[in-house]
Structure 1
Amino acid sequence: MASFLPPRVAYAEDPGSSRGRKVLEPDSRTRTPFARDRDRIIHATAFRRLKEKTQVFVAHEGDHFRTRLTHSLEVAQIARSVAAAIGLDADLAETVALAHDLGHPPFGHAGEDELQILMAEFGGFDHNVQTFRVVTKLERRYPQFDGLNLTWETLEGVIKHNGPVSGKLDRPSWRAIAEFDAEYDLRLSTWASAEAQVAALADDIAYNNHDVDDGVQAGLFHLKELLDVPLIGPILHRTYADYPDLDPGIIRLEAVRRMIGAMVEDVLAETARRAEGHGLKHPEDVRAMGGPLVAFSHDMVEDLSQLRAFLMERMYRHWRVNRTRSQARRILAEMFALFMQEPDVLPGEWYAQSRDRDEAGRARVVCDYIAGMTDRYAIEEHRRLFHLESWA
């Protein structure tokens, strides 16, 4: 059978040449270092919790909407396919994609926004930093170290898949990154590997398409309202023309499938153009480019900005979504205040961590506890703390 995949490109990361792990470990006999990282993420408690964390809709609002877990799996699938099509290391791209949302708190961006406010006086909160803290500290599964002891390349991709982050190190919320980097240099002023950049673009592809899918299914807007929106509109017109009598639900899925394909093809073409223009010969050439290698074309960026504007107006700011956001923020704010005032109502292991700490240290423990909650657990914990009927 003929191979559909191109040969490995010269600027792909080589797992055999990995910079290794902060804590030395014997190599696996069955997996490359990047594949081993992927498996550690999949087995992590924080990864399992993504099954009931909000993407746009709170996890209990319906079984058909995306959660952070299903979103992460979809991002990983796209990242692996794109990386393989370019000739990159698909395991590394998949690994960064699977890890990218581990630090998201319950209730999606509403939860993040509220924790940013609550932690403003105590070092701040950033979900990307929290993801890094999860994989380097908060996951406790091994006797030799805290965290997952991931490879240098995976850690680099987790923290800077969207670009250099050295300019953020003076932010209080990024203190954990600065401290880790001082001991284990992640070269935060450069771009990450091509594989990590693929994971970042796969995230954009996944959420733009699947938010369209979820928004239509939720009844926030009708598919035909997208006919005049760039990118999705022309695809919808062609889909309706090809299948004039098809069930609307299948039309929606076919249009989304075609839009994913169009965005993937655009990334492949633009990345090939940039790679050729820079004459890349080594993974380090990607980090030294001074800009991203993996990217959308200018036209695709323009089209996506208009699609996002539509989704912002018709979905993310819809009154039903706003109502859920309001409820979510109040739940987190009330729990945070109570835990700060009465830390002895925290579960035993968390109370033990908060003891003998100053106010900022106690706030970080409370924040870590809340950030790790699923939507359902946060709702139930709030009910146990504030509603007497839960005692019955």
Structure 2
Amino acid sequence: MANSVGGSPRAPYAADPAGARRLVAEPSSPTRTEFQRDRDRIVHSTAFRRLAHKTQVFVHHEGDHFRTRLTHTIEVAQIARALARALHLDDDLAETVALGHDLGHTPFGHTGEKALDACMAGHGGFDHNSHALRIVTAIERRYAEFDGLNLTQTTLAGLAKHNGPLIDAAGRPTARYRARGVPEAILDCDRRQPLDLALHASLEAQAAALADDIAYDAHDIDDGLRAGLFTLADIRAVPFVAGVVAEIEDRHPGLEAPRLIHELTRRVITRFIEDAMGESRRRIAEAGVASPEAVWTAGRALVGHSAPFEAADRELKAFLFAHMYRHPQVQAVREKADAIVRRLFCAYMTDPTAMPPDWAAMAGAGDRARAVADYIAGMTDRFAVHEHARLFDGPTDLR
């Protein structure tokens, strides 16, 4: 099994499930690899099910056909598997990291995370990536022999570092954590189960990270057009998209809008995936890696896009930021969602008994702010709205 992936030869630099280790030792499975077991545990977790009712960009009641965190996660997992399979990696591990990468998200998407982070400013802050680690190592309580999901070290490292190393060789925080340091939840996990925070993650985790980016670009085009936040004429301002639209119109003149939008979305995904396959093969060959360990110490991400597609990605994100994420309709909802999270935090901090008894007990026994943040982070959009209505006497209109 260690020598093949889905019937294809396993590359020497692919992660090997046979060598994967867990913090709490468990008997091996006669029917599944260690990474397949990790994947299944994530899929059966409470946190994963809640993603169905957590916002991607729109709140849950604004339309049944817009993406949620769950549909986004499934799309990321599909793209991650495609990339991993093309590169002869372990596609189960790529899928596992993809399925777990958003477990730590709050209700109301990045708006909820920013609000909760502000509330936790004096208590270590809040970060969805580190919260995902807390979920899979402590908060999920389903198994008789351990808290969390007891995932393999390889999967945990992938969840922590899929976007790159968190510290440099001197131990200084890098990238997103440079300003205020690596979150304590990640450092605590690293102390118990070393994650090699200064090294790159597996190629499978890198594939999941790039898949996340590809999925975002494509489905935000789809959702934004279908919601009327911008038009096809507007998005032609992005040269890459304009070229794809022109190709579709040339091949299918007079195509109705819904079909054209779907054709655009699928072709954007295809173009980005195919470019990533070619560029990643080039980088891997150039680096000369011949083992998973060599990937970790390569000094750069080996799964990525070519320079022209990196430029297209930047242009597309700039367009979406201006026309979708900062659209007045979306901004109005975000302001209300921000207020809900902040008011809930204040209410539970003032009176922890407003939470369920087990959460109130945790707030009383230890770090009250962290217990409150954990409770709010686990809420779905709908439950957060209901809790706000219960505590503050009346419904909240997010429309």
Q: How far apart, in 2, do the equivalents of 1:22 and 1:243 lie? A: 55
Determine helix, strand or coil for the equivalent of 1:339.
helix
Deviations 1:185-208 (A, max 9, x none): 111100000000000000000010
- 2:214 counterpart letter in structure 1: I
For 2:10, give the aligned amino acid. R
Is 1:386 matched with 2:392?
Answer: yes
AA aligned opposite 1:115: L
Q: Does the 8 A contact of 2:385 with 2:395 survive in 1?
A: no
Matching residue within 204, 222, 226 for 2:231 = 222
Q: Distance in 1 between matches of 2:287 and 2:151?
A: 30
2:238 aligned with 1:238 = no
The 1:89/1:303 distance shift into structure 2, 3 A limit, reads same
Partner of 2:163: 162
Cα distance in 2, alignment partners of residues 187 and 323 from structure 1: 42
Residue in 2 aligned with 1:183?
A: 192
Q: Deviations over 1:128-176 (max 9, x none)?
A: 0001111111111011111000011100100000000124378466112
Distance 2:18 2:372 in 1: 40
Quote the residue 2:152 is aligned against.
151
- The Cα of 1:341 is off from its aligned counterpart by 1.0
Letter aligned with residue 372 of structure 1: G
| Number of the residue aligned with 1:314 | 323
Matched, 1:333 2:342: yes
Equivalent in the alignment of 2:295: 286
* Contact 1:116-1:124 at 8 Å conserved across structures: yes
Provide the secondary structure at the position in 2 that maps to 1:162.
coil
Paired residue for 1:133? 134
Per the alignment, residue 276 of structure 1 pairs with 285
For 2:105 and 2:147, how far apart are their aligned partners in 1? Answer: 20
Conserved? CA contact 2:386–2:395, under 8 Å: no
Residue by residue, what CA displacement relative to the aligned partner does 1:243-275 show, whole Å, maximum 9, x if unpaired? 112111101101111111100011011111111
1:79-117 residue CA offsets vs partner (Å, 9 max, x unmatched): 011100110000000000000000000000100110110
Provide, for residues 321-344 of structure 1, a one-character-per-residue CA deviation record: whole Å limited to 9, x for no partner: 001100001001111111111112
1-structure distance, mates of 2:129, 2:216 = 17
1:368 equivalent in alignment to 2:374: yes
What one-letter code is carried by the residue in structure 1 that aligns with 2:304? A
- Provide the C-alpha distance between the structure 2 equivalents of 1:327 and 1:389, rounded to a whole number of angstroms: 12
Matches within 5 A, 1:5-44: 7-18=9-20, 20-44=21-45
Deviation of residue 349 (structure 1)? 1.0
Is residue 222–residue 262 contact of structure 2 (8 Å, CA) maintained in 1?
yes
Q: Could you list the per-position Cα deviations for residues 53-103 of structure 1 after superposition, in whole angstroms to 9, with x for gaps in the alignment?
A: 000001111100000000000000000111001100000000000000000
Q: Return the offset for 1:16.
A: 1.4
Segments of structure 2 that go 5 or more residues without pairing to the other structure are: none
- For 1:369, what is the secondary structure of its paired residue? helix
Measure the CA separation in 1 of the matches of 2:102 and 2:209: 11
Residues 237 and 139 of structure 1: is their aligned pair in 2 closer, same or farther, counting only changes over 3 Å?
A: same
Q: Partner residue of 2:269?
A: 260
CA RMSD of aligned residues (A): 1.7
Q: Does structure 1 residue 197 correspond to structure 2 residue 206?
A: yes
Distance apart, 1:356 and its partner CA: 3.7
Q: AA paired with 1:13?
A: A
CA–CA distance in 1 between the matches of 2:355 and 2:88?
Answer: 49
- Give distance in 1, aligned partners of 2:313 and 2:378: 32
Matches of 2:339 and 2:54, distance apart in 1:
17
Q: Residue 5 of structure 1: CA displacement?
A: 7.9
CA distance in 1, matches of 2:130, 2:99: 16
Select between 160-169 and 229-238 the one with higher mean Cα deviation. Answer: 160-169
Conserved 8 A contact 2:244-2:268: yes
CA contact (8 A) 2:76 2:211 kept: yes
With 69-78 and 278-287 compared, the bigger mean Cα shift is at 278-287
Structure 1 regions of 5+ residues with no counterpart? Answer: none
Q: Counterparts of 1:341 and 1:267 in 2: how far apart (Å)? A: 50
Q: Look up the match of 1:122.
A: 123
What is the CA-CA distance between 1:15 and the residue it aligns to? 1.1
Amino acid at match of 1:314: H
Residues of 1 paired with 2:243 and 2:322: CA distance? 20
| Counterpart-to-counterpart distance in 2, 1:30 and 1:6 | 19
Q: Which residue of 1 aligns with 2:101?
A: 100
AA aligned to 2:389 is R
Q: Which whole-Å CA distance do the structure 2 matches of 1:86 and 1:328 have between them? A: 41
2:174 maps to 1:174: no
What TM-score comes out, normalization by structure 2 length?
0.93
Name the amino acid aligned to 1:32: T
Secondary structure, aligned partner of 1:97: helix
Q: Distance in 2 between matches of 1:331 and 1:196?
A: 34
Give the superposition deviation at 1:183.
Answer: 2.1
Identity percentage over the alignment?
A: 51
1:76 match? 77
Deviation at 1:33, TM superposition (A): 0.3
Change (3 A) 1:311 1:92: same
Q: What amino acid is aligned across from residue 346 of structure 1 in structure 2?
A: M
- Equivalent residues of 2:108, 2:381 under 8 A apart: yes
Give the aligned residue type for 1:341.
T
